[in-house]
Amino acid sequence: MRKVLGFIGCIILAGGLFALDYWQGYNNAQISEQLKQDNTEIQQLLNEKLQLEKQIEETVQQEPKQQPAQETEEIPGAVLCFHSLNQSFYTEIYPVVKEKVDSGILILENGKLPGDNNYISAQDFSQLIDSGWDCAVSIERTADDSQWQTDIENYLNALNARVSAKPTVYYLPSGECSESDAQILKALGFETVLCHEETTAKTVGELNVVQLYGYNDSTTISNVLDNQGNCGLEIWVSWNRSIRTRVRYTETALQSLLNSSAITFKGLDDLLSEEKTSTSQTPEERIAEIDQLLDDLYH
């Protein structure tokens, strides 16, 4: 019996030793493969670092040979936004504006459509859209979210039946755009909101924000300077006494604005691209990142 038990013990011991040896061999293979991958990554990082250092050295060597560049200050931009679009906008105002402005924003409000009585014609409106102008719409805000969304959808359908335009800009006549309103507008295809509430934020929810100011105001230039990248100047083509003086259209005031050397007028896309933070790295920043990666691999 002892011989049998001894024999069984020998078998178990041999099996255990075999399993241990197999596990160690497998583990060593895994470690070897990981080291091989790490070495490959380290070599790639070192090669990249060497190239970046060479690039920096070449740049430094070239700098003395270059003439010092004159410092230039980029003129801040603003987008022109026109309200109350009667036919005189296209026949009298647009011919003057287009000499200095490539595009702006046409604001449709109060449920009006191009082609309505005493309003810009559908043909003229379409020509402006085809030439690069943007269109903003505004529908009275109801207390019920779903009703407001339905009202906007119905208006967009009516607009699409009248002209070929797909507005991506929404105009708020007062107040700020809340996160919940931004979600509704985003779901309807809007990308930008025009508002009067002063804020340093360039976005709300997933919408771009453009702040509106009067175009004929003593603070117009300072407003543009303080809000680069999201400043709009609004102009009411036709108006009554309830409309603030600083946004009422007059030929003299508009000509003065267009001739200003302190502001450059941009289309909406160009305006929103102002002061975008670059995501590209400098060679020095990439080298610092490589050093951190190498340190992690070595340890």
Q: What is the pLDDT of residue 21?
A: 60
- pLDDT, residue 77, reads 87
Average pLDDT estimate for 197-213: 87
Tokens of 253: 């005031």
The average confidence (pLDDT) of the chain is 82
Q: What is the pLDDT of residue 149?
A: 96
Using 50, 70 and 90 to split pLDDT, how confident is the model at 172?
A: very high
Contact between residue 289 and residue 252 where contact means Cβ atoms under 8 Å apart:
no
Residue (of 216, 215, 195) closest to 204 by Cα position = 195
Burial grade of 100 (CB within 10 A; 0-12, 13-18, 19 or more): middle
Are 178 and 207 spatial neighbours (Cβ–Cβ below 8 Å)?
Answer: no
Q: How would residue 84 be classed by pLDDT, with cut points 50, 70 and 90?
A: very high
Concatenate the DSSP letters of all residues of 152-165 into one string: HHHHHHHHHHHSS-
Least confident of 16-30, 39-53, 203-217: 16-30
- Predicted confidence (pLDDT) at residue 278 exceeds the cutoff of 60: no
- In this prediction the pTM is 0.67
Sign of CA dihedral 241, 245, 249, 253: positive
Is the pLDDT score of 127 beyond 80? yes
Query: What does the pLDDT look like over 251-274, one tens digit per residue?
Result: 899 998 898 888 889 999 888 886
Is 90 exceeded by the pLDDT of residue 163? yes
Q: How many whole angstroms separate alpha carbon 69 and alpha carbon 71? A: 6
Domain boundaries, the chain: 1-49, 77-272
Q: Is 169:105 a contact under the CB 8 Å cutoff?
A: yes
- The pLDDT score that the predictor gives to residue 3 is 54
Residue 199: pLDDT band (50, 70, 90) is confident
The CATH architecture annotation of domain 77-272 reads: Alpha-Beta Barrel (3.20)
